[in-house]
A and B are shown apart, each in its own frame.
Chain A
Amino acid sequence: DFQMTQSPSTLSASVGDRVTITCRASQNVVTSVNWYLQRPGKAPHLLIHSASTLQSGVPSRFSGSGSGTDFTLTIRSLQPEDFATYYCQQSHTSLRTTFGGGTKVEIK
């Protein structure tokens, strides 16, 4: 099975900071990685699919990169609404997907 290892598990930052979250796949998933944001008490929200494609309606301060086993989500200038938990997901295996453990972005 494909495992997804996210780091860090928690990140403290300030409004305006540039934030980077990484995700490592246990096997080559090419570019089949998606990123989600989840605010407390809410359902997850798709930010980026296929490693680097911004989902419609998502602000351009979010970006994704990577291929193979190493992937990155970057938030260019952190906004108050961005303090949340972020998850990566591999969708390389059809009808069998895996999420990373999550990264909580907290206010410093």
Chain B
Amino acid sequence: EVQLVESGGGLIQPGGSLRLSCAASGFPFEDYGMAWVRQVPGKGLEWVSSINYNSGRTGYVDSVKGRFTISRDNAKNSLYLQMNSLRAEDTALYYCARAAVAAGYDFWGQGTLLTVSS
């Protein structure tokens, strides 16, 4: 059974840093691209960042470029999102998602909530 479990969210002050983690199981993690998608409670989905299967390529939404870094450790079946210079507008539920072989994101975690507030 494919499972994605996010962790690392919490309350942090503006300007602070935090690293989100996503533990993957039930599939060959090293064969799949992965992504982070966020959602402000009650609002829509926003893609944040993606990474290909071997970390050779990454992508970011403009609003987090230079502040967030996506990475993965295939030996540990884990995906990460290092977030620096956090802003109030980064407050959201952050989902980890698996990029399907064909297209789209076919498995999602349940999310970890980040609140940026003083």
Contacts and interface: CB of A to CB of B under 8 A. Distances in A.
A in complex with B:
yes
Contact of A96 (B45, B59, B103): B59
Q: From DSSP, what is the main secondary structure of chain A's interface residues?
A: loop
A44 B98 CA distance: 12
| Chain A CB within 10 A, most for which of B35, B45, B95, B104 | B104
Contact of A49 (B44, B52, B57, B103): B103
Contacts of B106: 46, 55
Interface in A60-108: 87, 89, 91, 94-102
A95 B58 contact: yes
Contacts, number: 66
A44 B45 contact: yes
Counting chain A CB atoms within 10 Å of each CB, the highest count among B50, B95, B103, B106 belongs to B103
B44 A43 contact: no
Interface residues of A, number: 25
B33 A95 contact: yes
A102 B33 contact: no
A98 B103 contact: no
B109 interface: yes
What bracket does the count of chain B residues touching chain A fall in? 20 to 34
Given A97-B47, A102-B45, A43 B109 contact: yes
Given A99-B45, A101-B44, A102-B45, A43 B103 contact: no
B81 to A, nearest CB: 15
A7 interface: no
Interface in B42-60: 44-47, 50-52, 57-59
Given A36-B104, A36-B105, A99-B44, 9 more contacts: A34-B105, A46-B100, A49-B102, A49-B103, A53-B102, A95-B58, A96-B47, A96-B59, A99-B46
13 contacts: A34-B104, A34-B105, A43-B109, A49-B103, A53-B102, A89-B47, A89-B104, A91-B103, A95-B51, A95-B52, A98-B47, A99-B37, A101-B44
